[in-house]
Structure 1
Amino acid sequence: MRMASGNGLGQGLQQTLTLAWRTLLQIRRNPWELLDFSIQPILFLLLFLYVFGNAIAGSTDEYLRFMLPGIIVMNMVFVTVYVGHGLNTDLSKGVFDRFRSLPITRWSPLAGRILADMVKQAWSILLLFSLGFLLGFRLEAGIGGLLAMSGLLLVFALAFSWIMVWVGVIARDPEHVQLFGFTALFPVTFVSNVFVPTETMPEWLQVVVSANPVSQLSDASRGLLAGEAVMEPVVWSLLWALGLIVVFAPLALWSLDRRLAN
């Protein structure tokens, strides 16, 4: 990938912002993308709340307090699929071939795509929390807890997006990105404590669920909103985020170089 490597960090950041804005402008031409990651989580929230709420927690109010942070975490994971899908679309249409002729840093197109995803993630958090508030969810830790939870989710989303960047680079077409992404993410999100407490599961499954980063992030989010002591799940979530970046960011860049070189 023969993009300019002499640009400084400041120029690279400016190029990242420009490319992120380009990605966000695509929503205006394709508003269905916004609806995709807005309507699905709303449906999940309403269906699980009113179909399973009384059976699981005894009341919809209690279940909403437990489930809403988990639904926000689950949606955060699924939204990252759009990073890989959009990146693969650009690669398939030759957009990155045009980038190669421009004096931009090699990492700014990927970083711009991920930064645009952070804006979508923030929108999803705001949307789901606003709906939860209308349904009766109340902050016990105040606005500080909400901001802390949102910050933690965005950090994890930034890290998790690198997996989908890598998938977007190695997949043959955008359809395979979605097929792989959703097929892999469904067990990761459902074999967790997003919808039900870990202690209600068989003992052998509790071990798997407790080690799942989605469970750790859900526990951290619930605790931050409730004002509880959640140092352990917060630390584990940050360690998972760091590990994902260390592994998948270099892998994605290496795979992109190989794809563009062929």
Structure 2
Amino acid sequence: MTTTAPAASAGTTAGTRPTGFVRDTAAVFVRESKPLVRDPFSVMFSLVQPLVFLGLFGPLLIGAAGGDVAGTLQWFVPGILVMVALFGTASTGANLLFEMQTGSHERTLVAPLSRSALLVGRALKEVVPLVIQGTIVVVVAVPFGFAVDVAGLAVGLVILAVFGIGFGALSYTLALSCRNRDWMFWMVHQTLLFPLMILSGMLLPLDDGPDWMKVAAAVNPLSYLVGAERALLAGDFGDPAVVGGAIAAIVTCAIGVVVGVRAMRRAS
């Protein structure tokens, strides 16, 4: 009797021993990144929609601008980068939905890992494909006359990465809320995604739009990201839009992580 109790206690302690937030986050990040390494085609496939917009919508804008290819690309390509960040992170919750349906997520919940790390590690994973895809979009546009400031591109990708962490966390939160109704995830996803995109000015300028549309754009964080990317990729670091975009990205990241961590901690 006196020998079995300590053994059970030791086993319980070993099984529930916290491992540290940073180490847990790194472990989750590596776990979530392995599918990208094994199947890099998935990263390329996610580029189809932004490249379609660039290839089909771009010529229409060039025609409307009187054939000014370079000027149109300087305006349009930064918006496509924001589109990459939006599309790439908005659907990440679908992966979590699949794991919950197959029981994989429940197995991670009983692992000796911080619940916060489960969320943050997943969100950080979205930075890798976002940076790769954004770089590819710029490389594709350069031969057609797009001039990019390399330092501005680097800073712009960092801002998009910060935004992507927060927006990806919100997508995971939505998935946790819709775990038994996956159709609800896609309904909310599609209902919000395209209004956010259109009301950001990434596809068409909103200067001549109605007042209600301008008001909606003023509270849309993507509007500030688009403005920041246009300034940064042109090398205009002093543009106030850069500060606005950075603030929008940081606020989105903070809200997404806080809300997501709370949802993950409540998950069972």
TM over 0.5: yes
Matches of residues 60-99 of structure 1 in structure 2 within 5 Å? Answer: 60-99=69-108
Cα deviation, 1:158-190, whole Å, max 9, x if unaligned, reads 222221121121113555434422331110011
CA distance in 1, matches of 2:92, 2:236: 33
Q: CA deviation at 1:91?
A: 1.9
Q: Which residue of structure 1 aligns with residue 249 of structure 2?
A: 241
Superposed CA deviations along residues 32-77 of structure 1, whole A, max 9, x for unmatched, are 6324312111111111112332114643332111000001101211
Gaps of 5+ in 2: 1-14
Is structure 2 residue 113 aligned with structure 1 residue 101?
no
Q: Where does 1:140-159 land on structure 2 (aligned, <5 Å)?
A: 142-159=149-166
Task: Give distance in 2, aligned partners of 1:49 and 1:123.
Answer: 21
The farther-off stretch of 73-82 and 195-204 is 195-204
Aligned pairs (5 A) from 1:1-262? 4=16, 6-8=18-20, 12-27=21-36, 33-56=42-65, 58-139=67-148, 142-171=149-178, 172=180, 174=182, 176-228=184-236, 230-260=238-268
Of 238-247 and 159-168, deviating more is: 238-247
- Deviation sequence 1:188-207 (CA, Å, 0-9, x none): 01122112223232344223
What TM-score comes out, normalization by structure 1 length?
0.85
Deviations 1:74-115 (A, max 9, x none): 121111123211122222221222123322222222222112
Q: Which has the larger radius of gyration?
A: 2
Contact 1:162 1:244 in 2 (8 A): no
Mapped to 1, the partners of 2:36 and 2:183 lie a distance apart of: 19
Q: Is the 8 A contact 1:74 1:189 kept in 2?
A: yes
Say whether the 8 Å CA contact 2:225–2:248 is kept in structure 1.
Answer: no
Contact 2:73 2:141 in 1 (8 A): yes
CA contact (8 A) 2:36 2:42 kept: yes
Is 1:4–1:106's contact at 8 Å kept on the other side of the alignment? no
Root-mean-square deviation (CA, aligned residues, Å) is 2.4
Cα distance in 2 for partners of 1:252, 1:4 equals 22
Kept after mapping to 1: 8 A contact 2:115/2:265: no
Q: Which AA in structure 2 matches 1:233? A: A
**CA distance 1:248–1:145, change in 2 (3 Å):** closer
In 2, the alpha carbon distance for the partners of 1:184 and 1:230 equals 32
Percent identity over the alignment is 25
With over 3 angstroms needed to count, the CA separation of the structure-2 counterparts of 1:208 and 1:47, relative to structure 1, is same
Distance in 2 between residues matched to 1:125 and 1:153, nearest whole Å: 9
Aligned partners of 2:169 and 2:257 also within 8 Å: yes
Return 5+ residue gaps in structure 1 as ranges: none
CA distance in 1, matches of 2:163, 2:239: 16
SS at 1:199 equivalent: coil
